Structure formats: structure tokens, C-alpha cells
Amino acid sequence: MSARPTIILHTDKPAGALAVLAETHPDLDVHACDTYAGLPALIERVAAEVVYSIRFDGTPRYPRQALVESPTVKWVSIGGSGTDHLGRWDPAHVTVTNSAGVAAGMLAEYALGAMLSFSLDLRGFERRQQARQWGGGRVEPIEGKTVLIIGLGKTGEAVARRTQAMGMRTLGIRARPKPMPSLDEVHGPDALLALIGRADFIVCCVPLLPSTRGLLGEAAFAAMKPTAVLIDISRGGVVEEAALLSALDGGRIKGAALDVFATEPLPAEHPLWGYGNVAVTPHCAAVYDGWDIKSVRMFADNLARYRKGEPLENVVNPERGY
């Protein structure tokens, strides 16, 4: 690492990011790139040492090789929390950090909003309103209900704090279980099937790893209550969509709120679009006004540490995905 590294800001909205770096590190040579195709050549041309990158145009064309296999890039700072689009990398060659926590509160509010939508039957009331139908409505509280949070990183913790404040019983699963103040119970991954049958709401917020791919499959859906609601704010591939479709078709769960999918954008012919008890959102639960600037400021703070030779925050272990 060097005290004056050459920086690339790889984002579809470079103006704000450039302004933050001009304010916080005015002495550095900073370049912007707003396409996937242009990044490899720019890295080579300027011999970039540090790249801040956002996955702004999906995963299939993301230039991961140019980042993790470059002879000059020593640090890749990911603007979001997920790093599955980087694939595998050698931490001895390149350090990868993420912006974990930048949208934890917003993701938690999405999860809580989904719970309230189902408990208050807002979609049912919308259908009745469109039919100009009075009566037949029923609501129920989430207070006293049980939520199972799968993955207790910053997002999972934020979900736990909000649901506990609403009077819910909070169960959690994490790779290395330990007591946590906002959780009534914390268990390891082996307890998934035992816990899932106790939950009224299941919130999935784990990274996509070989160990989590297909985590919620046939066995998990078979163990759920018929009144359970799945809320997926993790990554496409953690939930087996075929198993989810089977559970929906069989009436074995109450419904689902889904922000992530195995294929994105979700194809127009995909059956998930057609369920009245499924909320489909386009991988936007973490997108709010100002999130990108907050993420760049986190990067700028970490860049100050990098330049001083201090340990970086939010270093990602490629084996764990966080």
C-alpha cells in the first residue's frame, strides 16, 4: 500500500463520489468509470491501486477478473454489502472490503414493512377497494409473533432490534452463535429446521456462499407453518425457487416478500409475478436517497486508514462472505 494510491471510482453516478473524494482526499489522483466494459482498460492505463466499485448493471457482465486478478489493484472496496459477484479471490493478492451496514436500517424497515403488510392484509384491502367492496376485512397484530432471522450481520441485527421493539419474539441463526442483546435465542445453522417451524415470519439475510446456496429448500418449506411468511433480502440462490413455488402452490405457507431472485431482472414469464400472496420488488430494498454517498464516505474513511497503514474496516473473508 502507498500513502498516495491511484483511485478509481467505479459507479454509475460518479459525480457525487468524485465530490466526496475531492473533499476528503484532495491530493489523490482519482478517476471515474461508469461502465463495466471500460473498467479493465482504465485499471491498466492508470495502474490503479484502489478501486471503489458498485454492482450497478447486474452480475453476469461484472468485470470481476479485472479487479481481483489485476497486477496493480491491492484493495477493492465494494459499495454494498454482498461480494458474491466477485467470485473467489486470493486475500494474499487483493484485500476486499464491503460497506456492511450502509443500508442495514433500510433493509430492516423493508422486512418490518413486509410483516405489517401481511398481518394487516393490505393487499387484500387493496383488492377490495378496487372492487368497491365494503366489509370482510380482518387484521392481526405482530406483537407476540415469532420472527426467525437467518443471518445476524448488521442487517440481521437491525431486523432484530426493530422486531423486538414491536413486541415480537426474536430467534436468530448465525455461523458462530453467541448471546446478542436484541435476540431472545441465538442458534447455529444446524438448528434451522427445528427453529423454522416455530416462526411466523422468516427473514433471510445471509450472504450467498456455497454453504448457503439452496439453504431454504424443500426440507425448510416442509417445516414451516402454513401461516408463515418468508421475507428474502439476502441474495438470489439462497432460496430454492422451485421449492418456494411448490410451497405456494400447495398452500403450505401464507406468502412471501422477495427482493432477490436467482435471475435478475426477474423474467416477465416467471411464475412468481402471478401470485397474489407474493410481493416482488426489483432488488431495491437497500436503495434509498443518499445511500450511495453514505457508502462513498465509508470508503473515504477507510481510505484514510489505508493511507496511514492502519487496519481497514469491513474486510471480507472470502470463505465466509463477510
Q: Which residue in 55, 169, 174, 283 is the catalytic one? A: 283
Q: Active-site residue 313, yes or no?
A: no
Could you give the CA distance from residue 2 to residue 162 in angstroms, rounded to a whole number? 42
| Secondary structure of residue 271 in the 3-state scheme | helix
- The CA distance from 257 to 204, in Å, is 11
Cβ-contact 281, 253 below 8 angstroms: no
Q: Which residues on adjacent β-strands are paired with residue 216? A: 239
Question: Which listed residue (235, 240, 241, 297) is catalytic?
Answer: 235
CA atoms of 169 and 149, how far apart (whole Å): 11
Q: Grid coordinates 479487479 are at which residue? A: 67
Q: What are the DSSP calls for 229-247, one per residue?
A: EEEE-S-TTSB-HHHHHHH
Backbone φ and ψ for 204, nearest 5 degrees, come out as -100, 120
DSSP string, 286-305: T--TTHHHHHHHHHHHHHHH
Of these residues, 185, 264, 270, 313, which one is catalytic? 264
Tell me whether residue 132 is one of the annotated catalytic residues: no
Determine whether 127 is an active site residue: no
State how far the Cα of 212 lies from the Cα of 204, in Å rounded to an integer. 11
Catalytic residues: 235, 264, 283
